[in-house]
Amino acid sequence: MQNRKLRMGMVGGGEGAFIGNVHRMAANLDGQIELVCGAFSSDPEKSKRSGRALFLETDRCYSTYQEMFTKEQALDENERMDFVSIVTPNHLHFDIAKMALEHGFHVICDKPATFTLAEAQILKTIIANNECLYGLTHTYTGYPMVKHARHLVEQGKLGKIVKVVAQYSQGWLAASADTNNKQALWRLDPTQAGVSCCMGDIGVHAANLMEYVSGQYITDICADLNAMVEGRALDDDGTVLTKFNDGAKGILTASQISVGNENGLAISVYGENAGLSWRQEEPNTLWVKYNDKPAEMVRTAVGDLSEECMLATRTPAGHPEGYLEAFANLYSRFAQQIRTYPNELENLESIPGIDEAIRGMAFIENAVNASQSDVKWHPFKIN
């Protein structure tokens, strides 16, 4: 395994899918991984057609994921896939991951990890019992400047953290007509998306980023989620107030009906000595600000930056590194984890895993439950 590319299978991501192609590009970017097989659709013919369009061998284009795991496991170890990437709608994640793990395959999965928090808890036991790796693609933790922001907080540059603010605003679901496309249909369908659309789709990214950068964990929440477009069963907009374990307070806003906004993810972390801010739409810049001296603009690949930040940087200064590169950083690091397994990486971060998956599902369900209650504050429950 040390002297070859890792072999990846994929479930989902066939014709007409958005995120599957993003995963394939990201996995391919660093030349460490090759796609060798897949079950790309619940429609067997579409699945096989999608595989052929990706120039896969005909006998590695499977009709179902069940067929894929069974037949791949039976192949010689010099041919079978090493891990599977799951890029289906949410309601399928658990069953696919469970079968993959039980057949001895490592798993990397698009977020949210499962349909329910209970499934995520069960999945943790399955992972432990089958001694396989599990990774979750919280993409924004892969950006170089996000990693440097985390480093500055860890090093005490900001002092004691007192406030964390995250915003994730999109406008693509602002009108009822926007529902009539494949990407919107399943996200707004409770039978496929789960209990939330907006918070489950993008709010969970913002929550993960708040904890990742601040180094603190959400302990209590107060939430107001809404379906602003008439007739929708799930939220398309919401605000969540948070309390953190070390005393910080937070505000998280997420919206998919903010007209004109494209992918407005931003985070600010404020300490007693300084604050920092980062915007996904301007990913190469991190601002560090003070009350008593000029602000500092930190730029990707310029100056003395943290090790994780530099490892996540591919291009010279001034060349924007964005969404695909951040995604690729997760795949590249997951490949390192697989090559090292069962040992852990030394002095390097692992990508988000089952613990982050559980906290993500807990955030979604706690936010929905809190929004439906007349009680102001609710403990952040993960069981």
What average pLDDT does the chain have?
96
Return d(Cα 238, Cα 11) in angstroms, integer.
31
CB 5 within 8 A of CB 36: no
Predicted confidence at residue 177, as pLDDT, reads 67
pLDDT score of 63 more than 80: yes
> How do residues 168-192 score in pLDDT, each as one tens digit?
999 999 987 666 677 888 999 999 9
Q: Position 5: which residue type?
A: K
- The residues near 119 (Cβ < 8 Å, ≥ 6 apart) are 93, 94, 113, 361
How is residue 284 annotated by DSSP? T
180 vs 353, residue with greater confidence? 353
- Expressed in angstroms, the distance from the first to the final Cα of the chain is 38
- Residue 179's pLDDT is what? 63
Tokens of 140: 């924004």
Q: Which helix (H) or strand (E) holds 24?
A: helix 19-28
Question: Is residue 165 scored above 70 in pLDDT?
Answer: yes
Residue 271: pLDDT above 80? Answer: yes
pLDDT value, residue 16: 86
Cα 44 from Cα 300, distance rounded (Å): 44
- Please give the Cα distance from 261 to 277 (Å, whole number): 19
| pTM for the full predicted model | 0.96
> Letter for the amino acid at 8?
M
Total residues belonging to the chain: 383
Q: How far apart are alpha carbons 323 and 260 in whole angstroms?
A: 20
Tell me the average pLDDT across 195-216. Answer: 98
Helix, strand, coil shares of the chain, percent, nearest 5, are 40, 20, 40
Return all residues near 223 (Cβ < 8 A) that are at least 6 apart. Answer: 238, 239, 240, 241, 366, 367, 368, 370, 371, 378
φ/ψ region of 316 (left if φ > 0, alpha if ψ in -120 to 50, else beta) reads beta
pLDDT at residue 18 greater than cutoff 80: yes
Domain extents for the chain? 6-139, 144-317+352-371
Across 291-308, average pLDDT: 98
Superfamily for domain range 6-139: NAD(P)-binding Rossmann-like Domain (3.40.50.720)
The radius of gyration of the chain's CA atoms, rounded to the nearest angstrom, is: 21
What are the beta bridge partners of residue 250?
164, 242
Q: Mean of the pLDDT values across residues 317-342? A: 96
Q: Which residue has the tokens 């590249």?
A: 332
Using alpha carbons, select from 378, 370, 332 the residue that is nearest to residue 351.
332
Distance CA 232, CA 105 (A): 38
User: For position 178, what pLDDT does the model report?
Assistant: 61
Please, how many CA atoms are within 13 Å of residue 154, restricted to the half-sphere of its CB? 12
Could you tell me the two tokens for 7? 């072999």
> What's the CA gap between 376 and 73, in Å, rounded?
51
Helix (H, G, I), strand (E, B) or coil at 48: helix
Residue 307 has a pLDDT of 98
pLDDT computed for residue 151 by the predictor: 98
CA count, 13 A, side-chain hemisphere, 222? 9
Domains 6-139 and 144-317+352-371 share a fold: no
The better pLDDT of the pair 186, 253 is held by 253
Q: What secondary structure letter does DSSP report for 320? A: -
Q: Tell the CATH topology of 144-317+352-371.
A: Dihydrodipicolinate Reductase; domain 2 (3.30.360)
With beta carbons less than 8 A apart as the criterion, state whether 141 and 212 touch. yes
Peptide bond into 316 cis (omega under 30): no
Mapped onto helix, strand or coil, the DSSP state of residue 41 is coil
Mean pLDDT for the stretch of residues 252-257: 98
State mean pLDDT over 235-263. 98
Q: Tell me the per-residue pLDDT of 76-128, one tens digit each, with 9 for 90 and over.
A: 999 999 999 999 999 999 999 999 999 999 999 999 999 999 999 999 999 99
